[in-house]
C-alpha cells in the first residue's frame, strides 16, 4: 500500500541532507505562545502593533538646463524621481492580560461588555452575549485611546468599564 505522505517525507529528507551538504545554516525560529512572564492562572491575548513605514520621494537633478547666451532655454533641466522606504517602527507582538471569562466565552460577561460600551455610545448592536464583529469594533474603539489597538478586551479596559473589581482575582 502506497501512503501519500511517503513521497513528501522522502523529499523532505533529501532536502535536509542536501542543505547539510552545502553548508547552509538554519536559523532557529522562535515562536511565542504567550508572554515571557505570565501570572499563574491569568489569561492573555496577543496584540500586533503594525510597523510604521516611511516613504520618501525626491526629485534629483540628472542634468542641468542648457541656456543660450541670450537667456533662451535650449534644453530644460531633467530630473529623476527617487523613492526610498524605511521602517520607522518595527512590527511588534505584544501580550496583554484579558479576563478569563472572555476566553471562556461567557455570554453573561460579553453582554455586560456590550451594555457598558452601549452606555458610552460605542456599541450600537443588540445585547446578545456574542463577541461578534460589532462588539470587537466597539472594544477596539474604547481601547485605542489608551494605546491598545485590539478588539480583544484587556483586563485594564474591563476594570475601567467597571466590569472587574480592582484587586479582585480573575
Q: Which three cell numbers mark 46?
A: 496577543
pTM of the full structure: 0.59
Whole-number pLDDT of residue 24: 35
Nearest to 131 by CA among 117, 149, 145: 117
Q: For 84-131, what is each residue's pLDDT tens digit?
A: 999 999 988 889 999 999 888 899 999 999 999 999 999 999 999 999
What is the average pLDDT value for the chain, to the nearest integer?
Answer: 81
**For residues 108 and 82, what is the distance between their CA atoms, to the nearest angstrom?**
57
Rounded mean pLDDT of 152-160?
A: 95
Distance from C-alpha of 85 to C-alpha of 103, rounded to nearest angstrom: 39
Question: For the residues 161-166, what does the mean pLDDT come to?
Answer: 84
104-126: b or e for each residue (b if 16 or more CB lie within 10 Å)?
eeeeebbbbbbebbeeeebbeee
Q: Are 73 and 65 in contact (CB under 8 A)?
A: yes
- Looking at the chain, the number of H-run helices and the number of E-run strands are 5, 6
Higher pLDDT residue, 51 or 34? 51
Q: Where do the structural domains in the chain lie, given as residue ranges?
A: 99-160
Q: Is the pLDDT of residue 75 over 80?
A: yes
Question: Do residues 80 and 60 touch, judged by C-beta distance below 8 A?
Answer: yes
Residue 1 has pLDDT above 60, yes or no: no
Cα angle 50, 35, 91 (rounded to 5 degrees) comes to 15
CB atoms within 10 A of CB 8: 10
Is 106 or 21 the better-scoring residue by pLDDT? 106
C-alpha cell at 105: 466565552
pLDDT band, residue 64 (cuts 50/70/90) = very high
**Angle at Cα 121 formed by Cα 109 and Cα 142, nearest 5°?**
65
pLDDT at 35: 84
pLDDT at site 37: 84
CA atoms of 17 and 70, how far apart (whole Å)? 75
**Inter-residue contact 99 to 116 (CB < 8 Å):** no
Enter the DSSP assignment of 50: P
The residue behind cell 522562535 is 30
Amino acid at each position: 500500500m502506497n501512503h501519500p505522505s511517503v513521497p513528501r517525507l522522502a523529499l523532505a529528507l533529501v532536502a535536509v541532507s542536501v542543505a547539510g551538504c552545502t553548508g547552509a545554516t538554519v536559523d532557529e525560529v522562535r515562536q511565542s505562545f504567550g508572554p515571557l512572564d505570565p501570572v499563574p492562572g491569568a489569561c492573555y491575548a496577543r496584540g500586533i502593533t503594525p510597523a510604521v513605514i516611511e516613504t520618501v520621494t525626491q526629485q534629483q537633478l540628472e542634468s542641468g538646463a542648457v541656456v543660450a547666451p541670450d537667456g533662451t532655454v535650449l534644453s530644460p533641466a531633467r530630473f529623476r524621481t527617487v523613492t526610498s522606504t524605511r521602517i520607522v517602527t518595527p512590527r511588534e507582538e505584544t501580550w496583554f492580560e484579558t479576563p478569563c471569562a472572555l476566553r471562556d466565552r461567557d455570554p453573561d460577561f460579553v453582554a455586560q461588555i456590550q451594555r457598558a460600551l452601549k452606555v458610552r455610545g460605542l456599541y450600537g448592536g443588540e445585547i446578545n452575549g456574542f463577541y461578534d464583529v460589532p462588539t470587537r469594533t466597539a472594544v477596539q474603539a474604547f481601547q485605542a485611546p489608551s494605546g491598545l489597538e485590539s478588539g480583544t478586551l484587556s483586563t485594564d479596559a474591563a476594570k475601567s468599564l467597571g466590569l472587574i473589581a480592582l484587586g479582585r482575582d480573575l
